[in-house]
Amino acid sequence: MINLDVKSNLAKLIATENISIQHNKVQTASFDVKNRVLTLPIFKEKSGDVYDMLIAHECAHALFTPYKEWENIDNAELRSYVNVLEDTRIDLLIQDKFPGVVRNYENGFDILEKKDFFGLWGKDLNKDLMIIDKINLRSKSLQRLPIEFDAEGQEWLTKVDALKTFDDVVALAQEMLDWQKEQVEQMKKLPDFHKLPMAQNYNQVDEDDFDDEDDNVGYGADENSDEQDEKNDFNNFGDQKADDEKDTQQSGPTEQSDEKKEEEKDQGAPTQHSKGADGGVKSDTPLKAITDESFKEKSHELLDEKSHGYIYGNMPEPNLKSIITHKEFLDDMKKCANGGSEKYNEWLKQHFNKFKNENKKTVSYLVKEFEMKKAATSYARASQDKTGVIDPLKLPNYKFSEDIFKRMTILPDGKNHGFIMLLDWSGSMSDCLKNTIEQLLNLVEFVRKVNIPFEVYFFTSERRHFDDNQGEPSFNHKSGDWMFDNFNLVNCMSHRQTKKQLDETMMYMFHMAEYYNSNYVYHRDWNDDLQMARYDSWGIPRQYNLGNTPLNEALIFADKLVPMFIKKYGIEKFTFITLTDGGANSTRGKIKGLENADMYSDENYRKTPIYKMGKKSLIGSSYNLTPKILKAIKLKYGANVIGFYIIKRVKKWDIEKYIDAKDYYDRERKYVAARKQMTKDKALAVNADGYNKFFILDGKKMKVENFDMSEASVKKGTPSEFKRIFGKAMQDRLVSRVVLNKFIEEVA
């Protein structure tokens, strides 16, 4: 398979500019010199040499062919001659500038010639072609075909090789075309002109007027016979009979010849310009380079006719000013809280502090375990080296050992970690948002203790200043960009916050979790806490309400934020996390500047969208755009991409779709094992496109567990029961922090 991005980069390098590259359902490669767009066809056979040859050729047009002058040539004959001569000129220039493409030209021509792209089968290269086609084949084959040129042909070659500018090309093309027409007119006077293969090749005769005996003339005749040589001796139109007639014309018609002509006319004998009524000679067929025309006609044989082509658009530039910063978020929440119930605010502080204290011991334990894992890994990679200083304790061994020097243990430095997390803030998250936020708060508390730089964002379709359409747009759309909707990306928590600011922010995140849990989750038994969170709460600022899932939009922003984050904090091992409960919104399917175009017509509907993201081409529909952006982030920035996917009701299909099995029984066996693993770890690691690790979480079993031995019910006199309950509780306490545990596994 051809890597379209690699070929696009090759074209840009050869063109020495950032031209646009498009692969589409076209007959042959072309270059829009005005808009600087190189269009390449979609081939069945992904021949790298053919691609590279066409790329080099069309880039040569981009560099050396003037657009306006070429467009102004409206004469079909002259345009054909100019095309051949200009191709010859620019190919020499590009091969001289980039010698590496010479091999591509050679191999590419050989591949196309074997498929008769130039219409050469059954033709004698030296007798059946006009000078323009001989020049074309000489250039395209890099002078490797056995083409002979007489003295007059050599004069033309000298002129062709001396071409410097496009104006030179046009002038020579006109001169050659005029000369060729004169030669054809002279040869049409021959009685057997209609039998000549060259006359047939260039459509200068009417085939319907041929006699039966004429069918044996040309391609089927013996090329070695003297008769055939005489009839085919049309190279450069220089045969002796034509010269004799030319001399006769130059001397002027005689009285005898006029009488002979009149006699022939009376007897109905054919003249030199006619066979029967018209001699089968055409007078209005334009002269064109048939090898060039054949290439154009047969290009479809290489094309992938099943492909419907692509619709190209660029990813829009994200407007980073539209991001709500952690400071703005905290200010908005404070304003909302200040206008609320004091009773609820006291209740919120009390419950948040209780949650924080309950989790402090477990988080501290995981921090200690993390440091031990890091130390163990470091010592496992430790090395020892001699210092060059003699160890007095080893000196007595000098007679039988050379190892008498002190040694130094070298521990490799730990890598600087960092992570960015995107949290789904959609309406479907309402029934699991409380557990999700508690998982997130444990993770933030952990990374704060181990000094890992982090940024947490949540994304929602709800907007600030939604009613009056004020505020910054999410994207700076320009012509040619795919259009994405505005959304809110909120930087809710960051390592850049002070301890007090982060604690306040975590409390407000805890508030939102309690608010949505009490308002949108069915509770069979209401208690005082639920009543407080629902009826006394001061609610949520409108711009932070749950909406739909603009995940792709958030990832486009991440493509800008990730390199800035890595560079600023010198991150050596970067982790990128998404936590969602569903797929991303579909895109509009519209391109800026083409809003009124019918993008859903039968023609366009079948085309595959291509989203240009920097140097990457993300090929596919909007429905599978997410993994493609994730892959781009992973490849460009060396990110370890982790996905957490929350399932509300775990069904068999939710797991089976990730299982690669040989047959039904293998699938069943793997499914049973996967369910056991998910029950044990509260998470199931599966393979998902775009992610390094992808974990399925059971939304109903994400509650963070804590354990207090004073509340344990143990039968009197049964230490084993006490031990069992204690061990299980400790295990559940650790395992329940599933997001934090999986993060530690990745960074430790």
pLDDT at residue 275 in the model: 42
Reading the block at residue 305, the tokens are 């006719």
Q: Report if residue 343 sits inside a domain.
A: no
Residues 272 and 321 in one domain: no
Q: What is the largest CA-CA distance in the chain?
A: 145
Residues 521 and 646 in one domain: yes
Residues 295 and 429 in one domain: no
Residues 160 and 57 in one domain: yes
Triad 162, 166, 168: Cα angle to 5°:
45
The pLDDT tens digits of the residues spanning 157-204 come to 999 999 999 999 999 999 999 999 998 888 888 888 878 888 888 887
CA distance 576 to 573: 10
> What stretches in the chain show pLDDT beneath 70?
1-5, 28, 45-47, 206-284, 373-391, 393-395, 397-415, 464-470, 522, 524-525, 595-605, 622-623, 705-736, 748
- SS3 state of residue 306: coil
Half-sphere exposure of 171 (CA within 13 A, CB side): 8
Reading the block at residue 180, the tokens are 């060729």
Q: Are 455 and 611 in contact (CB under 8 A)?
A: no
Q: Report if residue 685 sits inside a domain.
A: yes
Residues 669 and 642 in one domain: yes
Burial state string for 280-294 with b = 16 or more CB within 10 A and e = fewer than 16: bbeeeeebbbbbbeb
Residues 647 and 510 in one domain: yes
Question: What Cα–Cα distance (Å) separates residue 402 from each residue in 389, 397, 410, 512, 530?
Answer: 13, 8, 21, 69, 76
Residues 242 and 322 in one domain: no
pLDDT at residue 28 in the model: 66
Q: Which residues contact 616 (CB under 8 A, 6 or more apart)?
A: 5, 632, 635, 636
In the beta sheet, which residues pair with residue 408?
A: 385
Phi, psi of 346 (to 5 degrees): -65, -40
Residues 200 and 321 in one domain: no
Q: Where are the alpha helices (DSSP H) in 204-305?
A: 226-232, 240-251, 255-267, 290-298
Domain interval for residue 241: 4-248+255-282+290-302
CA distance 544 to 547: 9
β-pairing verdict for 640-647 and 573-580: parallel
Q: Are 418 and 637 in contact (CB under 8 A)?
A: no
Distance from the first to the final alpha carbon of the chain: 38
CA distance 422 to 743: 14
CA 340 vs. chain centroid, Å, equals 50
Closest CA to 56 of 98, 19, 88, 23: 98
CA distance 356 to 349: 10
β-pairing verdict for 383-390 and 417-424: unpaired
Q: Are 344 and 506 in contact (CB under 8 A)?
A: no
Closest CA to 553 of 463, 615, 634, 452: 463
Q: Are 538 and 339 in contact (CB under 8 A)?
A: yes
Residues 278 and 321 in one domain: no
Q: Report if residue 208 sits inside a domain.
A: yes
CA distance 738 to 748: 15
Q: Report if residue 717 sits inside a domain.
A: no
Reading the block at residue 525, the tokens are 């038994």
Closest CA to 510 of 571, 558, 438, 575: 438
CA distance 505 to 494: 10
Task: Please give the full DSSP string across 403-424, using - where no structure is assigned.
Answer: --EEEEEEPPPPP-EEEEEEEE
Q: Report if residue 32 sits inside a domain.
A: yes
Using a 10 angstrom Cβ sphere, with 0-12 exposed, 13-18 middle and 19 or more buried, the burial of residue 225 is exposed
CA distance 518 to 503: 23
pLDDT at residue 272 in the model: 38
Residues 294 and 323 in one domain: no
Residue 454 CB coordination number (10 Å): 22
Q: Report if residue 68 sits inside a domain.
A: yes
Q: Which residues contact 66 (CB under 8 A, 6 or more apart)?
A: 33, 166
CA distance 236 to 100: 35
CA distance 141 to 695: 57
Phi, psi of 280 (to 5 degrees): 70, 10
Residues 541 and 450 in one domain: yes
Reading the block at residue 405, the tokens are 């020097």
Question: What Cα–Cα distance (Å) separates residue 456 from each residue in 181, 441, 544?
Answer: 76, 11, 15
Task: Please give the full DSSP string across 58-121, using - where no structure is assigned.
Answer: HHHHHHH--HHHHHT---HHHHHHHHHHHHHHHHHHHHHH-GGGHHHHHHHHHHHHHTTTT--T
Residue 146 CB coordination number (10 Å): 7
Q: Where are the alpha helices (DSSP H) in 141-234?
A: 151-161, 166-187, 197-201, 226-232
The CATH number covering residue 556 comes to: 3.40.50.410
CA distance 620 to 644: 23
pLDDT at residue 239 in the model: 39
Q: Report if residue 519 sits inside a domain.
A: yes
CA distance 59 to 43: 19
Residues 295 and 428 in one domain: no
Reading the block at residue 315, the tokens are 């990813």
Which of 702, 721, 741 is the C-terminal boundary of a domain? 702
Half-sphere exposure of 527 (CA within 13 A, CB side): 2
Reading the block at residue 728, the tokens are 């299980």
CA 379 vs. chain centroid, Å, equals 42
**Total tally of structural domains belonging to the chain:** 2
Half-sphere exposure of 372 (CA within 13 A, CB side): 6
pLDDT at residue 661 in the model: 83
Triad 450, 451, 454: Cα angle to 5°:
115
Q: Report if residue 552 sits inside a domain.
A: yes
